[in-house]
Structure formats: structure tokens, C-alpha cells
Structure 1
Amino acid sequence: MDPSQKRTTPRKSKAFKPRVKAPDPMLIGKTRSVLRANALTTVCEESACPNRSECYERGTATFMILGETCTRACRFCNVKTGRGAPPDPTEPMRVARAVTELGLRYVVVTSVDRDDLRDYGSGQFVRVVEAIRAADPEVKIELLTPDFRADRGALEAIIACGADKLSHNQETVRRLSPAIRPQSDYDRSLEVLRTYAKGFKGAIKSSLMVGLGETKEELIETMEDLYAAGVRQLTLGQYLQPTPKHHPVAEYFPPRYFEEIKLVAETIGFEAVASGILVRSSYYADRL
């Protein structure tokens, strides 16, 4: 069989049951009340991330700006697709206020894709960073950005905005990228990361999902591409199908597989790697 055809059909899960810390109801409740008061969205709450209580206790959270409607329709993502509202000029101030009220020490800021905006939403990222810095200069800020269609002006604005770390997710291997991210592009994502690495003095991070139908060889090739582009921090996690309409899980991997690919990534040269079934792109963002 051609290696490119391996693991393309779903297999039955062996029902792995990874253990996660039970959410602290008081901590979750406080966080939700602050988010509601400031009319904000976090990826942590929207996805009911199993790691969120642990992250909150460490003083870190991931905010999603620019609305809840994405102009793209990736087959792994459950965010609704359409045309979003114009950027809210009060959003940066509201994010900064929530960061202060929650006592956060490390903040990840991400967004939906906004191909409908002239600057692809990059300006709102800059304004959010400026507002957080004004509220508390000691807070560490990581930006997990879309590809901005590799627009040079947008990328340069992100590089110069004063964040502590820049991230952009490659998500999957070259062969699967057109099916999984039909409006994105494998090489364009590498170009974004390469541009960040050349112009930014801080760390560059990316993330990959496994279980979409890739071979281990393809996964290693993708990690090598990311390293060559200047990425030095990497997260790897198991893909989980959000709804029956989304791309099916081709394979569920046991914990030992994530240990193996972490060792491979470290051998390639990555300086920090988080690899596990429930690892997501912002998992242990502060510790990486």
C-alpha cells in the first residue's frame, strides 16, 4: 500500500481515559463572571477545555478577539463561518480589564480568521497588546495569530507590537492540509512562521494535531519543515472530532505515541515540546 494512503479511514478508539484535574467550580465561576461582565470570549470556556482550571490556577488564559464568526471553514474547527462584525473599539480595554481583574500573569490572545478586513484583523491584535501593557506592563503576552494571508504589513505590525511570543498553527501535514484547511495553505503558514522568526526576537511556536490520517513519516517531515522555518516551540495533541459533520478521527493514539514523537521533535532540535492526548496549542503556554 502506498504510504500516503495509510490511516485514512477511522479506527475504533481503544477508549483511552486520560486523567485531568477536576475543574475548581469556584475558580471557574469567578472567571466566567468576569468574562460576562466584560463581554469577552476565551477559548478556554468556549471549548470547555479540560485543562482550563489548571491554567487559571497558574494565572494564564487564552482570549479570542474579533468576534466568534470566522471567514474560513476548516474541517477540524467548530467555530461558525460567515462575515463577522467590525472590530469593536472597546474590546482592547475590556480584555485588559479582565486580565487585571483575574490577576493573570500570562495571556494568550488569538482570533478567528478575518479575511473580510483590510488588515485581516492585525490592528486589533496590536491594540489589545497596547491596552494590556498599559494596564500591567509585567504581564507576558503570547499572540496566536491567523495567517493574515501572509500580508507583509499585517505580519510586520504583529512583529513590532511588543508581544513576548508569536505563534501560528500549522495544524496538519502537507498532504492533508488542502482537505483539512481548504482556505489556508501549508506553504503560506510556513511563510508566516519564517517571517516571524526573521523579524521577531522572542520565541516562535506552532502546533500540530495527530489522528487526522497522517503517517508518522509525514508528521516528522512537517516537524522538520517547522524547524527549518524558525519554529523552536511545538505542541502536539490528539485531534477530536467536534461534530459528525467535521473530519472524522482516523486514529486515536496511546500516550506512548506522544512520548515517542516528543523525543523525535527534541532530536530535530525543538527547544520546548508539549506532547499528549489532551495537549492543545496554548497548553502550558507560560511554561514553554
Structure 2
Amino acid sequence: MPARGLEGSRAPRWRLRPTAAWALAPAAAVLAAFWLLPLAHLIVLGGQARDAAGSGYWQVLGSAQYLGSLAQTCLLAAVVTMASLLVGGITGVFLARQRFFGRSTLVALLTFPLAFPGVVVGFLVILLAGRQGLFAMLGLKIAGERWVFAYSLAGLFLGYLYFSIPRVILTVMAACESLDRSLEEAAQSLGASPWRVVNDVIIPGLAPALVSCGAICFATSMGAFGTAFTLGTQLNVTPVAIYNVFTNYANFTVAAALSVVLGALTWAVLLLARRMVRQSGTVL
């Protein structure tokens, strides 16, 4: 009876204790002041009608230019994510499983781009594939013309890879530490080929980390502005479009609507990735 009385007196799990509520108060205040209130104002601003063209959302969803920019941004982010997962995943597994002289130095070099801001990454792309870059000089010597692609989507793709691949490498290296090596040994003892071991054991084991890291790479590529701005304001990606509408035309309504739509698309991808990881550890 006393034990039941103690169990009955326990507070439901969903109720916060007073001390826990006070601990959350500073974070809640910062969240409300610097995130929820500006976000609410951004959403309301996007719904306002500046002129006869209608609300900002209507102008965005009814414009082929803005929809094309959103589609191009999503496609670029998806391609960057897949390429980063492929290159970074293979490299991360190799570095996690192999021990050799200079390994720490190699890891440091591969992850060094994380220390660069987007503007510096864009400048590196220009030095590599700009009008005076290495590829331009090489093209002049080989074909008699400059090979320039820094100011196109190809250059932006290369720039996004700079800071996406290191994230995948670090994530995969950490995830490899928790893999059960006995499963691989069991598969090998049963006659499984190296490809079957990778496909049936290693990839499913790394799937949650790959999905989570892929979502982060996608979100970063969707909203990265510094690199795109450095490579040129004529690139048809949504962050640059928001900048042009905001600064060149002072159209706050459309800029707010574009920001909300871009954020909603990115949030939907992050939510989908989170659900995939929750539902199964073998989802790819």
C-alpha cells in the first residue's frame, strides 16, 4: 500500500517541475525574442499586398522566375548532397578503418574548409576557375581559350562541395566507431563478397548518420549566400534572388515571402529526414 501511494503521488511525466521550468525560462525568452517574433513578423509581412499584384506569396507562387529559382536551388542542393555523401562517405569509412603515417594531417587538411566563411570559399573557386584562375591559364595553353566556370552553377556546385564534404567525412568517421565489426566478420565468414558486406552491413549501419548529415548538407546548400554572392549576383538561386529583391527593389513583401517559402522547403526536408531516422536505422 505505501508503495502504491508513492506511485500515485508521482507527477505525470509530461509535467515540468518548477525547477525545470525556471531552467528553461532563459532559453524560452531568447527563442521568443530573437526567433519566434521575427519569424511571425516575416510570415505576416509576406502575406501583405504591396500593390495590385497581390500578396508576396501570390507573387512568388505565380512567378515563373521565382519558382524556377526555387526549383534550381532545390536541385542544386540535392546534387550537392548526393555528391557529398558519395565522396565524403567513402573517404570517411576509409579514414576510420585505416591507420597510416600522416593520417591525422590528412584528416585535418580534408576538414580545413570548415574554417572558411562562404566569401572565402567563393574566392577560392574564382582563383581556381575564374577568368584569371588556374583552369583559365591551363585552357589557354592547351586549347587556346580560357576555361571559366566559376561564375555559373558549376562553380557554385564546386563551392558548396568545399564545406559539405568535410561535414560528411567527420560524421561518417564518428559513426564508424559505433559499428559492430563482428557483423562484418560474420558476413565474410559466410562467403559474402566485399561489395555484399558494404551493401548489406556497412551502409545500413551508417544509414542514420548519412541521412542526418545529408539533411544538414541540403539545408546548408539551400540557404548559403556568401559563396553565391561572391561568385556573382546573376546566379538564379533563391538566396541571391532574396538579396536582389530586398536591396535593389526594396520589395520587402516579396523578399519575406521568398524567405518563408525557402525556409518551409528546407524545414520539410529536415523533418522528413528526422522521421526516416526515427522509423528505421536502415533507411537510405
TM-score, normalisation: structure 2: 0.21
More strand by proportion, 1 or 2? Answer: 1
TM-score, normalisation: structure 1: 0.21
More helix by proportion, 1 or 2? Answer: 2
Structure whose CA Rg is larger: 2
